[in-house]
Amino acid sequence: MKYLILLLTFLLPSYIFSQVTFTDVSVSLGVNDGGAGQGAVFLDVDGDGWLDLYNANNNTNCRLWKNNAGTSFTDIGAAWGVSGTFPTRGCSAADFDNDGNIDIMVGNYNAVLILYKNTGTAYTNFTTNAGVNFMGYGGSINWIDYNSDGKVDAVFANDGIPYHYNYLFKNENLLSFTNVAYSSGLTDSLSTLCLGSADYDNDGDMDLFCGSQTNTPNPVTGRLYVNNGNGTFSDVTTSSQLTTYAYTWSCDWGDFDNDGDMDLYLGASNAPNLLYQNNGNSTFTEVSMQYGVNDPSQSYSCGWLDFDNDGDLDLYVANGQPTPDKLYRNDGSTFTDVASTVGTNDIRHSACISLGDYNNDGFVDIYLVNNGTENRLYKSNAGNSNKWVELRLRGINSNRSAIGARVKVKAGSLSMIREVQGGSGGKGQNSLPVEFGLGSASIIDSVIIRWPSGLVQRFANVAPNTIYNAIEGQPLGITNNNTGIPESYALHQNYPNPFNPATIINYQLAKSNDVKLVVYDVMGKEIAVLVNQKQNAGTYEVEWDASNYPSGIYFYTIQAGDYKQTRKMVLLK
């Protein structure tokens, strides 16, 4: 017994100090808004690679905070034209016009909903121009390219009494929308509180769940609609066995058991929460008690995240006052609530969460919206050595936001899927980038991206602990706003290689240096200078467009301080 105590004394400090915990940095970073918070979304409004934050408030000023490279936030809501005061209930964001700037839709109650178009330096109210100036009766919004035409559409949930039909705004021409809900098969009027879309049947198109607070005229309080692949939906609630009788305020899809299909968690206000495990045959089994996540509190938001980067999805549940929020760690055969241990056991009236890596350190952070009291930004302390990877997808033939794309990552014994979501958790949305924890894996065996257009791309032997830009039809590119500092210098092989007419060259700097990256022809003649400036330590990428050069062998050389490296590439026209 004495030896056991000594052993535990030796091991426990190591365990405690290597555990992932969270710190509320909302006050120090300036995002502790105390308004009547309803919804939130992490989004990159200015395209600088850092997640900004939009906070929707009810009859108090809405907020748009610019992320200053992960060190602080600045309220730019008024300057960007989105700080209005409305009876707001929620929000969601997507690039509806495929112009490279992310737009915002805001849901109001008993008032016209709002569509803000991002011009690159500000937002303009585009509601009437887009034809979506409909009376809103709720705040749950899901962007979804339901007909796979490369233009992202929007589902808007209406709640309250008398009951109102939901809207499905079909994106006609990247400028205007038409409400086609009823003709597309979305025919319920059950006072919808939350929306969640995912490809639960693995057929390549996005299906839709609607959670509500009434069972009139039917006995269930939710609807599962399968996408028929022809622009219509069918109600499969009964046949799927995904039947709930609780007031469903929140929902989120995620593959918690890593079996390759999407499961669904539901947060309720008048009954225990529910977890529907996907059986892989278009049916579900309710397993909340089996896995220990049947929280009986009033739960208004929820979200899946791998907070400890161990390769399986954990679960955050936001509860009404005074019940503490839950953070369920996925332990494989069960979940364990670790909220009080890791510092996320908020007891305020939680209304919404948004998940995203705001400081680009590879660990997911949590923004918690509290209705009537200060919000919280839970910063992960990145307290373990587990590996990770993040992918920022951009559609070309698919919608620009890549909403509906599925990413599958294999690393050793781990096999995981994520989907780019157009709304989540109830009245908000998680960030568009997808994040994967990799445990101790030293290499990613494969990354497979299935785009909404149907294109499937496969990448092998991908390095972990990196944020990648994934552009449809192109090789993976490395961003240069990862906060990690490389331990050594490196010049990587260009890709594609051979290429025509353009190729990407990646390199990394261990220290700040004057950097010169030059291209030579086979005779040793300098023909292009790609970089010639001082750069900070970090990871970079540069494109060389060889449209004006003939086929042949070329060499590229980097000089950074005492480091010098040359590689060969082939232009094949």
Give the fold, CATH level 3, of 491-571.
Immunoglobulin-like (2.60.40)
Domain boundaries, the chain: 40-381, 387-478, 491-571
Structure tokens at 531: 């970089």
Residues 134, 107: Cα–Cα separation, whole Å: 10
Give residue 2's pLDDT: 38
> Alpha-carbon distance 73 to 60, whole Å?
19
Nearest to 430 by CA among 357, 376, 347, 508: 357
What is residue 218's predicted lDDT score, i.e. its pLDDT?
66
Report the distance separating Cα 292 and Cα 317, nearest Å.
13
- CATH no., domain 40-381: 2.130.10.130
Strand partners, 144: 153
Beta strands (DSSP E) in 255-405 are: 263-268, 274-278, 284-286, 299-305, 314-319, 326-330, 335-337, 350-356, 365-370, 376-380, 387-394
> Measured on CA atoms in the order 269, 272, 277, 278, is the torsion positive or negative?
negative
Q: What is the pLDDT along the chain (573 residues), one digit of tens a residue?
A: 433 333 333 333 333 335 789 999 999 999 999 889 999 999 999 999 999 999 999 999 999 999 999 999 999 999 999 999 999 999 999 999 999 999 999 999 999 999 999 999 999 999 999 999 999 999 899 999 999 999 999 999 999 777 889 999 999 999 999 999 999 999 887 789 999 999 999 999 999 999 998 766 667 889 999 999 999 999 999 999 999 999 999 999 999 999 999 999 999 999 999 999 999 999 999 999 999 999 999 999 999 999 999 999 999 999 998 899 999 999 999 999 999 999 999 999 999 999 999 999 999 999 999 998 999 999 999 889 999 999 999 999 999 999 999 999 999 999 999 999 999 888 999 999 999 999 999 999 999 999 999 999 999 999 999 999 999 998 887 665 555 566 778 898 887 889 999 988 988 888 889 999 999 999 999 999 999 988 888 778 888 999 999 999 999 999 999 999 999 999 998
Q: Compute the chain's Rg from CA coordinates.
A: 24
Cα–Cα distance measured from residue 443 to residue 434, given in angstroms and rounded to the nearest whole number: 18
Q: In whole angstroms, what is the distance from residue 483 CA to residue 102 CA?
A: 23
Contact between 534 and 512 under an 8 Å Cβ cutoff? The reply is yes
Pick the CATH number of 387-478 from 2.60.40, 2.30.30, 1.10.530, 1.10.3470: 2.60.40
Peptide bond into 324 cis (omega under 30): no
